[in-house]
Amino acid sequence: MSVSTIMSGPDAWAAGLAEQISACDPRQRDARTAGRARAAVITAFGRALSGAPAAITKALLGTSGVAMTGGSSLVFGTERRTSAVDAALINATAAVAGSEASRDAANSACIVALFGLCEERGKTGQEFLDALISGAEISPCLAPTLSPVAGQLGFALFGSVAAAARVLELSRPKIIAALLMTGLANVDSPPAGQVGATSFMIGLSLRSGLLAALLAEALDEASCAEMIRNEGRTIASPAAGNGAPGEAAFDLLAVQSPPGADLWDQFERQAGTVLPRDQIAPLFERLETIDKVKDLATVSRLLQASGAQAAPKKVVFAARGTHEPEETNWVP
């Protein structure tokens, strides 16, 4: 059964949105868009590394049952690899914590959350960039359905679901199911709007969006069709004059980056919070050419930082006249 036969009338726009997500053609993108995407990635990764030592990030890593080891997605600035959904929670939280209250913090959170999924699924750098740009292109279509309170988080959240749908190659019914589970059925609900601009709540929202896409992937077509029949009617139809911000306000790639000459300085400062200096320049160069990367593991290895190094042992010399020092590291 096709989506068009399941949904009709005022709800048919959702089927059209799913069609747009499925039909995005990365070959039609210009060099300027790709350049903006790469700059957004560099800025988002720098912010996530800068926020890795934040108290909320450390608390999440220390919470039982969160980010269990054994997955393939890296928690930035650590040696821990976990599932894509938990990496999304922690890396997105860190990205917001490291954004210094920037208005576009949710966009950075979306970017790092998407990277974890692409890493888990063995995607290339070009596929990661294509998915990000797809989400950016689709997100303005959601503007008429998002209430003013949804703000940038609502835009980033559903843009991330569109990007994840691209990575997972979801069918149209599964895309609609993912949007429903994310909270599109009620755009004023906490997942889409009234969550507050806190790092944890944004991270939790991005994790929920990714989990919804993965659940939609796991569901069979019949279950998705039933969900659409039962809950699709609650999706708000686009309405003019609802006070939602204009299309220009909804730009997933609008991560405030300094001019090109300063992008390196900013990244070096932010990444230096947790990474050894000899990793920062190679990482920056890899991100500048992310579309050429065939294996994202080569990127995440440079994002990885070893545990805190042990403090050097204290050197204590013996008093004159004694035969053995209490402790010394000195070698003649």
pLDDT in tens, 93-133: 999 999 876 778 999 999 999 999 999 999 999 999 999 99
pLDDT in tens, 12-21: 656 777 888 8
Which residues touch 319 (CB under 8 Å, ≥6 apart)? none
Q: Give which of 260, 305, 298 is closest to 282, Cα–Cα.
A: 298
Class of domain 3-303: mainly alpha
Mean pLDDT of 142-150: 55
Between CA 320 and CA 330, with CA 312 as vertex, the angle to 5 degrees is: 35
Average pLDDT of the chain?
A: 79
The span from the CA of 138 to the CA of 156, in Å, is 11
Question: Is-contact 128 287, C-beta < 8 A?
Answer: no
Domain residue spans of the chain: 3-303
The span from the CA of 29 to the CA of 133, in Å, is 9
Top pLDDT among 180 and 51 is at: 51
